[in-house]
Structure 1
C-alpha cells in the first residue's frame, strides 16, 4: 500500500496544501473539551481524494496525525468519530466504498490518540464472527471474508451514555458495541445474509463477547436461504 504523499506535514500540524473540512458535523470534540478531531482533504493524482485525520489540544497548539501512511484504500472518504464518555477512547467510523464500512479504535495519551488494536477493530470483529458456530454453517465460499458483498461493521448507538439506553449498567467507557452486516447479492442461495449481528469489545481485556441478551437478536440477524432441491 502506497503512502499518502499529497502534501507535506510537520510533526504537529497538517501541510498547508491540505484543505480542512469546516462543516460543524466534520469536527469532533471530546466530552471533556480537551481534544478535537479535525479532517483534512488532499488530492492523490488527478481524481482521487485522500483524507488525513488530526487531533489537537484545546488551544490548538499541538497536533497529531491519527492515520499516518494510509492511502485511498483506508482513507478515501471522510470519517465519523465518537468519543467514549470518559474521553479516553475514540472510534473512527470509516466508509471504504459503496456498501463497505469498518471501524478503528484509538486510545488516548495526553491530547494524542494511538491505535488501541493491532488492526482495524472492524477486521477483528469479523475474525470473532468467523470463530463462532454460526459461521460454520456458511457455505465455504462465504467464509472467504475478503469476498463478502457489502461487508460492514458499524458502531451501535449508545457509546455516549455507556449504552444505558439499552438498559446496560456497564463500567464507564469499558465496552464498545458493534454491528456486522453483509449481503448475498449474486450468489443466492449459497450465501447467508447477515444484518445487524452484534458483539461487544472489552477495552480492558481486548476480547470480544456476546451478551446473553444479544443471543435472540443475533439468531434473527442471520438468514440462511433454502438450498435448491436437485
Structure 2
C-alpha cells in the first residue's frame, strides 16, 4: 500500500497512451467542465485475475495522454471507477470500487493538462480518520492500518459537487468543498449491540485540507447511526 501511494503521489505518468493489451472499456468517459480534458477508462484481460483498469487523461484533441493511476495492480484498479470534476475543472475525485460493499475515494489536482494525486493517503482514509475523532464514533473502533477492518466500508461522493451543493441549500464558494458520505457496519463483531453507519456526512475543504461537519448536517448524521433493536 505504501509503495502504491508513493507512486500515485509522484508526477503523472506521460506516454503516448494505453499500452499493448489495453482496450477502451465499456465504461463511462468523463469530460471536464471547461471541455479541455477527457478521461477514458481502459481495461486489460489478466489470466485468472479479471480485468486491470487504467485511467487516462487526454486533451480536447485526444493528445498529450497522461496516466492517472500508475503503479496500481488489480487490488486497487480491478474495477472501473466513477469520476467527478470540480466546477472549475481543477480537481478530480475518483470513486473506486474495491470489492463487494467496499469503495474508496481518491482526490487529484490539476497541473496543466494532467492530474496528480493531491493527498498522501486516499481521501476516504482521511475521512475515516476524521470520523473516528468525532463524538459520533464513541464506542466504535477500527484498525487504521487495515482498510478492511471496517465491514463494508463504503465512502461515496454526495451528489451536488457540480453546483457547489446548491441543491442541498448551501451557498459555498465555487469549487471549495467536497461532501463525503461514509458507510460501514460492525455487525460481524456483535450482532446484538454493534452499530452500523449509513450515509454519515462530512465536508472536506479543498483550500485548507481539513474536515468538518457543518451544524446543519447534525440532524442528518444523528439518523445515520443505527443500533439493533433489543430483542
Same fold (TM over 0.5): yes
- TM-score, with structure 1 as normaliser: 0.88
State the distance in 1 between where 2:91 and 2:14 align.
25
State the distance in 1 between where 2:212 and 2:67 align.
31
Q: CA deviation at 1:225?
A: 3.6
State the distance in 2 between where 1:22 and 1:227 align.
47
State the distance in 2 between where 1:71 and 1:47 align.
10
Which stretch of structure 1 is more off in the superposition, 14-23 or 209-218? 14-23
Question: Structure 1: which 5+ runs fail to align?
Answer: 4-8
Which stretch of structure 1 is more off in the superposition, 176-185 or 77-86? 176-185
What are the within-5 Å matches in structure 2 for residues 1-230 of structure 1?
11-22=15-26, 26-138=28-140, 142-144=141-143, 146-186=148-188, 187-225=190-228
Q: CA deviation at 1:134?
A: 1.7
Give the number of aligned pairs: 218
Residues 13-58 of structure 1, C-alpha deviations (whole Å, 9 max, x = no match): 11032011255xx100001100000001013333321110011111
Closer, same or farther: CA 134–22 of 1 in aligned 2, 3 Å: closer
Q: Is the 2:205–2:211 Cα contact (8 Å) retained in structure 1?
A: yes
State the distance in 1 between where 2:14 and 2:68 align.
13
Q: CA deviation at 1:226?
A: 6.1
Which stretch of structure 1 is more off in the superposition, 42-51 or 169-178? 42-51
Closer, same or farther: CA 134–10 of 1 in aligned 2, 3 Å: closer
Over the aligned positions, Cα root-mean-square deviation in angstroms equals 2.0
Q: Which residue in the other structure is 2:8 paired with?
A: none
State the distance in 1 between where 2:167 and 2:126 align.
26
Q: Which residue in the other structure is 2:7 paired with?
A: none
Q: Is the 1:176–1:203 Cα contact (8 Å) retained in structure 2?
A: yes
Q: CA deviation at 1:217?
A: 0.8
